Amino acid sequence: MALIVPACLLMIWDLMVRVTGTRLVPSPFGVAQMMWDFAFGGIYDDAYSGSLLVHLWKSVQRVYGGFLCAAAIGIPLGLMLGRIPLLRSLLDPTLSLLRPIPVTAWLPLSMIFFGLGPRAAIFLVFLGAFFPILLNTIFGVKSVDVRLFEAADMLGCSGAQQFRSVVLPAALPSIFNGLRLGAGFAWILIVVGEMTGVPEGLGAVIMDGRTLSRTDLVITGMIIIGIAGFLSDRILMMLSNYFLRWSPQHHA
């Protein structure tokens, strides 16, 4: 069933290319050839043949570097902001001001901070993933039922232990939501991050394809990023299911 829509889209695409006779957009078969060549080589034998793993590995490193930094800072900060009103009133205005600035607008600044190269890309990915993780964590902590705290108090559970046994489990579904959103943004931003000054990575391949007039390469890069993003989301979902196995309603 799931294959009906993609198959129809492919047919429409193929038909449109044939009818218009455009040379700027390759046919699905042309893209399939390029994907094969990109993964295994042997067809065109140019600079991109058989280089998929190199580019994918570079991008995965940057995506997860930025994403894990965002999680490492976003989750603890979110937990604290959710629990400590003083901290919230201190930081909330600043965060609210920074949040609406599009991450892509940080590109010129990040190139000045970090120079050319992968660090600027990691910073952009970090920024893009940071806010969804932070906000969802805050939301999760704030929405813990007050009666749970009262119940925990009566059972003699307080302080750090309360945090571990009440706050964290109750906020976990939201935190995972934030992580999934953040990982999605991370894959979106890798293309922007790799636009300038990095020779390897899926975003760099897409931009090279653009400047070299190789649309088949651009679409190949897009498909690979799509697949990689989908797989990384599945992994997060499996983790989420594992950690929330006590809660039937949070099974995705």
Nearest CB to another protein, comparing residues 84 and 212: 212
Does 105 contact another protein by CB under 8 A?
A: no
Interface stretch with another protein, choices 86-94, 113-121, 147-155, 182-190 (CB under 8 A): 113-121
Nearest CB to another protein, comparing residues 112 and 154: 112
Interface stretch with another protein, choices 143-151, 181-189, 198-206, 219-227 (CB under 8 A): 198-206
Nearest CB to another protein, comparing residues 115 and 226: 115
Interface stretch with another protein, choices 128-136, 170-178, 199-207, 232-240 (CB under 8 A): 199-207
Does 109 contact another protein by CB under 8 A?
A: no
User: Tell me, what DSSP letter sits at residue 1?
Assistant: -
Nearest to 187 by CA among 239, 117, 107, 125: 125
Nearest CB to another protein, comparing residues 30 and 169: 30
CA atoms of 82 and 75, how far apart (whole Å): 10
Q: Which two tokens stand for residue 32?
A: 């399939």
Q: What is the 3-state secondary structure (H, E, C) of 169-180?
A: HHHHHHHHHHHH
Q: What is the 3-state secondary structure (H, E, C) of 73-116?
A: HHHHHHHHHHHCHHHHHHHHHHHHHHCCCCHHHHHHHHHHHHCC
Interface stretch with another protein, choices 43-51, 73-81, 121-129, 239-247 (CB under 8 A): 43-51
Nearest CB to another protein, comparing residues 26 and 229: 26
Does 112 contact another protein by CB under 8 A?
A: yes
In the chain, how many H helices and how many E strands? 11, 0
What number of chain residues touch another protein (CB under 8 A)? Answer: 21
C-alpha to C-alpha distances, 132 to 6, 11, 187, nearest whole angstrom: 30, 37, 14
Q: Which residues bind another protein (CB under 8 A)?
A: 23-24, 44-47, 112, 115-117, 196-199, 204, 207-208, 210-213
